[in-house]
Amino acid sequence: MLQGKTVVLGVSGGIAVYKAVELLRLLVKAQAEVHVVMTRNACEFVTPLTFQTLSHNPVHTEMFNLYQEQEIGHISLAERADLFLVAPTTANLIGKLANGLADDLLSTSLMATRAPVLLCPAMNTNMYESPGCLRNQRRLIEDGYHLLDPVSGDLACGWQGKGKLPDPQQIFEAACSLLVTEDLRGVRLLVTAGPTREEIDPVRYLSNHSSGKMGYAIARVAAARGAEVTLISGPVALCEPAGVETLQIVTAVQMQQALDSRFETSDVVFKAAAVADYRPVQKATQKIKKMTESLSLQLEKNPDLLAELGRRKKRQILVGFAAETENLLANAQTKLEQKNLDLIVANDVTAEGAGFGSETNLVRLLFADGRQEELPLLAKDEVASRLLDRVAELLKKRANQA
């Protein structure tokens, strides 16, 4: 998603420096080129070696080190950045920036850059809410800096209150929204993700291995590209993406109801969820006791939600997924035609690095017009980017035909 983008990650000294390590990992995973600049104090919390290992680039800490390079270090960093991201940002650095002071590499580079700057303040609540710090933050916003508010919670100093650095995923999404071109602005996108659960009794249910990662990646990337996203999610262990309306469901029938409430007003629908094809005919009101050696369950079919949408489709772009273990292309092609899809994403869920639960996926795209496109093994965010590129092309083609 961030391929070709250069992020300069500034790290100033606070206990939240450890979170910057995870943030760096997310940026590198999204294929951004990341250069880390640390203040002297930051190095007291986490060594530059950690950041160097993850970024695959030398970490910059001292101004004079950089004069050994051909360029004057702080200027080359400032010029390279597509985004200058500072997490955590201390009260001291906020004060220096707000008052035009620059006495170390990080503050000097920040003053020299013309790239968008996203600051993530993190400190003790009283410091954060002090008149001076609030004044400096207001001035920075007036000067065009972007500030991501800290969250409330348990602080390292034992306090409870506002001042905690947001989760790395939240900072990553805020950074993406400043880096990714909003080519999907105005597009209303509906995506389903995760499994459904069909209860057997109050304790047991039928489900599958879907983690929701594929669908959540589509929702996240689409939102970063400006789309108005509604995510219909089965039970998963993922944080709801920022800037996305998330509707939580459990059963296939509940997913059907959620789809019905949004389908007519959607421009694009991605059906990445793994919907149970069957459900128990009867749901026991009490926990079934272990009496007999074997237990038979009578199942009945759930509605085929995607096929229903294919029948109702008017101007929507409808994208299905095919989770197969054999005859991948033939099975996917059949679903593409039978469910009246514009595109189906075929994945062999037994292939290494593909399908359920993995960070990556290996997919082949089959289009209604007969085109096929095989993607290499990619991170699910990158798969999402490619899928959205193709859908953007279909939307453009449809707009030109209108």
Give, for 111, the enclosing helix (H) or strand (E): helix 105-112
- CB under 6 A: which stretch of 50-58, 62-70, 75-83, 271-279 binds ligand PMT? 271-279
133 is catalytic: no
If binding is defined by CB under 6 A, does position 211 make contact with ligand PMT?
Answer: yes
User: Distance between CA atoms of 199 and 288, rounded to whole angstroms?
Assistant: 12
By CB under 6 A, tell whether 347 contacts ligand PMT: yes
- Site track 50-79 with ligand PMT (rule: CB under 6 A), x = hit: ------------------------------
Task: Give the one residue of 97, 122, 318, 322 binding ligand PMT; rule: CB under 6 A.
Answer: 322
Among 23, 200, 356, 378, binds ligand PMT (CB under 6 A): 356
- Asked whether position 214 contacts ligand PMT by CB under 6 A, the answer is yes
**Cα angle value 123/62/42 (rounded, 5°):** 25
| Interaction of residue 241 with ligand PMT, rule CB under 6 A | no
Distance CA 91, CA 131 (A): 12
User: How far apart, in Å, do the first and last CA atoms of the chain sit?
Assistant: 30
Pick one of 252, 268, 362, 395: the residue that binds ligand PMT (CB under 6 A): 252
The whole-angstrom separation of Cα 55 and Cα 37 is 11
Q: Does 349 bind ligand PMT (CB under 6 A)?
A: yes
**CA atoms within a 13 Å half-sphere pointing along the CA-CB vector of 31:** 12
Residue 38 has phi, psi (to 5 degrees) of -115, 145
Pick the catalytic residue from 133, 157, 176, 239. 157
Phi, psi of 91 (to 5 degrees): -60, -35
Sole binder of ligand PMT in the list 5, 74, 96, 335 (CB under 6 A): 335
CA–CA separation, 64 vs 62, rounded Å? 6
Q: Assess 323 for contact with ligand PMT (CB under 6 A).
A: yes
Tell the smallest beta-carbon distance from residue 324 to ligand PMT (Å). 6
Compare residues 87 and 322 and give the one whose CB is closer to ligand PMT: 322
Quote the CA–CA distance of 62 and 323 in Å, as a whole number.
52
Whether a cis peptide bond, with omega within 30° of 0, leads into 88 is yes
Site of interaction with ligand PMT (CB under 6 A): 210-214, 252, 271-275, 277, 302, 304-306, 320-323, 335, 347, 349, 355-357, 361
Residues identified as active-site: 157
